[in-house]
Amino acid sequence: MRLLVIGGTAFLGRHTVEEALRRGYQVTTFNRGLSGPDRPDVQAIHGDRSKPADLDQLAPGTWDAVVDTCGFVPAVVGESARLLKDRAGWYGYVSSLSAHPAWPAAPVTPSSPIHESPPDAGPDDGDYGTLKAGCERAVEQSFADRALLVRAGLLLGPYENVGRLPWWLRRVAAGGQVLAPGDPNVPMQLIDARDLANWMLDSAEAGQTGPFAATGPAGNTTMGRWLGDCVEATGSGAELVWVPDEFLLEHDVETWSELPLWMPTGPDTAGTWTVDVSRAQAAGLRSRPVRDTVRDTWAWLRDGGTLAPPRDGSPFTMGIDPDKEKRVLAEWASAKPVA
Ligand SMILES: NC(=O)c1ccc[n+]([C@@H]2O[C@H](COP(=O)([O-])OP(=O)(O)OC[C@H]3O[C@@H](n4cnc5c(N)ncnc54)[C@H](OP(=O)(O)O)[C@@H]3O)[C@@H](O)[C@H]2O)c1
């Protein structure tokens, strides 16, 4: 298998490259050379996919399969798909559940509508999810029934470059009372990037195509269980102090970012963790236990792993300010009903 990975040096793409090499593929990567070092055993081509002259470096090549992990602008993704149309047999595009306008308010399936964005939309023609939908159309224009459209859910694991699980692990490892958000029993739905990478390569080998909702099984953990996994993995003895959603919202704690993955259940979020993944499971997607993901991510951090920089060069914004966390915990201690 000759595989081209557009991206390949940060998180999901990096796992895809590692797994492809483990399987004995010949791997080419195309990226700007900013996010991480090239592996010596790949053919590394450096360039910015949004610059036609850079992309033209791919013109002499041919590949059995392409995995595109860094497509965010339809017009740009369209350029690569057109260039590769007759040079590659199959195109796996990493989209997102955000391509569905209904998500996260409602549960979605791979047949749920995606945003209206056209295949030639530019960077300012919509938000992240809208543009992901346009990118899917841009790939389909050139690859039609040779395209796998991977609508990924929340990705965790070693190399995570968003900083969600790394923030929690470091916070829990620091010990003491940890502000734990909401209801510990709320079911969640997470996927390890290594499982997604494996499945994309299985799909490339099988020539599997079409749209898939690609995340873990609904309820594969809960907030309580995976934060407990963080305590166990780090061995810190941290005490999780569970504070209800309403109290946190009243105290201006930001959902999703200040306490990563915290999404209070409400009309706008009811489908966050209830995506129908039956099509992907029937097509071979398998998920390891979230506990293993947490353990391996901590092992990576403990051994000196560092996060690849955010792709737009902005600073990391995950996690609550320590003073604010202390203040909210103190206010909760004096406000909570006596048991
Ligand atoms: N994280 C989540 O929870 C989540 C959820 C749903 C979907 N997704 C999707 O999953 C994908 C995750 O990707 P990843 O970051 O893990 O992949 P990755 O392939 O490991 O890293 C991104 C790669 O893209 C390259 N890149 C960025 N801009 C580029 C450009 N203009 N031209 C060429 N290469 C460029 C980066 O290298 P250089 O910087 O060196 O160019 C890097 O190699 C994204 O498409 C994201 O939308 C993520």
Identity of residue 184: P
For ligand 1, the distance from its centroid to the CA atom of residue 131, given in whole angstroms, is: 15
Q: Do 122 and 183 belong together in one domain?
A: no
The partner residues of 180 in beta bridges, in order of sequence, read 242
Q: Which atom of ligand 1 is nearest to the CA of 9?
A: 43
| Rounded CA separation 329/339 (Å) | 17
Task: Assess if residue 246 is contained within a domain.
Answer: yes
Strand duo 65-68 + 2-6: pairing: parallel
> Which pLDDT score, from 0 to 100, does residue 339 have?
66
> Which pLDDT score, from 0 to 100, does residue 337 have?
77
Task: Determine phi and psi for 73, rounding to 5 degrees.
Answer: -125, 120
Whether residue 84 has its Cβ less than 6 Å from ligand 1:
no
Task: Determine phi and psi for 253, rounding to 5 degrees.
Answer: -85, 130
159's tokens? 């190399």
Task: Assess if residue 282 is contained within a domain.
Answer: no
Task: Assess if residue 281 is contained within a domain.
Answer: no
Residues of the chain with pLDDT under 50: none
We report the CATH number of the domain holding residue 44 as 3.40.50.720
Q: Do 90 and 238 belong together in one domain?
A: no
For ligand 1, the distance from its centroid to the CA atom of residue 330, given in whole angstroms, is: 39
Closest C-alpha residue for ligand 1 atom 18: 13
For ligand 1, the distance from its centroid to the CA atom of residue 179, given in whole angstroms, is: 31
Task: Assess if residue 279 is contained within a domain.
Answer: no
Task: Determine phi and psi for 53, rounding to 5 degrees.
Answer: -65, -35
Q: Do 82 and 198 belong together in one domain?
A: yes
Whether residue 48 has its Cβ less than 6 Å from ligand 1:
yes
Q: Do 91 and 177 belong together in one domain?
A: no
Tally of structural domains, the chain: 2
Task: Assess if residue 277 is contained within a domain.
Answer: no
What is the residue range of 319's domain? 160-189+220-272+289-335
pLDDT digits (tens, 9 = 90+) for 181-200: 999 999 999 999 999 999 99
Q: Do 116 and 182 belong together in one domain?
A: no
Q: Are 149 and 136 in contact (CB under 8 A)?
A: yes
Task: Assess if residue 247 is contained within a domain.
Answer: yes
Strand duo 91-96 + 147-152: pairing: parallel
Interior/surface letters 75-90, b for 16+ CB within 10 angstroms, e for the rest: bbbbbbbebbeeebbb
pLDDT digits (tens, 9 = 90+) for 207-256: 999 999 999 999 999 999 999 999 999 999 999 999 999 999 999 999 99
Q: Do 35 and 59 belong together in one domain?
A: yes
78's tokens? 């369209």
Task: Assess if residue 205 is contained within a domain.
Answer: yes
Task: Assess if residue 280 is contained within a domain.
Answer: no
The pick from 31, 57, 100 for probing ligand 1's pocket by mutation, whose C-beta has the most ligand atoms within 8 angstroms, reads 31
pLDDT digits (tens, 9 = 90+) for 142-172: 999 999 999 999 999 999 999 999 999 999 9
Q: Do 96 and 168 belong together in one domain?
A: no
Q: Do 100 and 177 belong together in one domain?
A: no
> Which pLDDT score, from 0 to 100, does residue 309 have?
77
The partner residues of 181 in beta bridges, in order of sequence, read 243
For ligand 1, the distance from its centroid to the CA atom of residue 311, given in whole angstroms, is: 7
Supply the DSSP string of 270-302, one letter for each residue. Answer: TTTT----HHHHHTT-----HHHHHHHHHHHHH
Whether residue 310 has its Cβ less than 6 Å from ligand 1:
no
Cα 83-91-30 angle, rounded to 5 deg: 60
For ligand 1, the distance from its centroid to the CA atom of residue 194, given in whole angstroms, is: 15
Q: Is the pTM of this model over 0.95?
A: yes
The pick from 3, 6, 12 for probing ligand 1's pocket by mutation, whose C-beta has the most ligand atoms within 8 angstroms, reads 12
